[in-house]
Amino acid sequence: MASSGAGYDQSASTFSPDGRIFQVEYAGKAVENAGTALALKCSDGIVLCVEKPLFNRMLLPTSSRRIHTVDTHSGMAITGFVSDGRQIVNRARDEAASYYET
């Protein structure tokens, strides 16, 4: 990705001469390009749905990298970068384990 900020896009706390923060704009563009996640609450449960483009033929159509189980009674659907979502899922799992221990 070419640096359009001329050196101002390296830190989230640095403003450009125009008064913009490039990291915030990059995050907004990542969200715009992300897929859709949808949760439906039913009388007997919840359904989590995500878009699943198959970019690689080696991915199984039945697998999902965007829907995760946090605990026995909670789950999470992520959009955007899968690696960022995995960090949030791991944090949620740690929080759920800490709550269970308490």
What pLDDT is stored for residue 1 in this prediction? 47
Residue 7: inside a domain, yes or no? no
Look up the domain containing 95 and give its range: 22-101
Residue 61: inside a domain, yes or no? yes
CB 35: neighbour CB atoms within 10 A?
13
Residue 16: inside a domain, yes or no? no
Residue 2: inside a domain, yes or no? no
Number of domains comprising the chain: 1
Distance of CA 23 to the CA centre of its chain: 16
Q: Nearest-CA neighbor of 16 among 31, 26, 1, 28?
A: 26
Residue 46: inside a domain, yes or no? yes
pLDDT tens by residue, the chain, 102 residues: 455 545 555 666 777 778 777 777 777 777 777 778 888 888 988 888 887 666 677 767 677 778 888 998 888 888 777 788 899 999 999 999 999 999
Give pTM, 2 decimals: 0.59
Query: Is residue 24 within a helix (H) or strand (E), and if so which, with residue range?
Result: helix 22-32
Q: What is the DSSP letter of 96?
A: H
Do residues 49 and 41 lie in contact, with contact meaning Cβ atoms separated by under 8 Å?
A: no
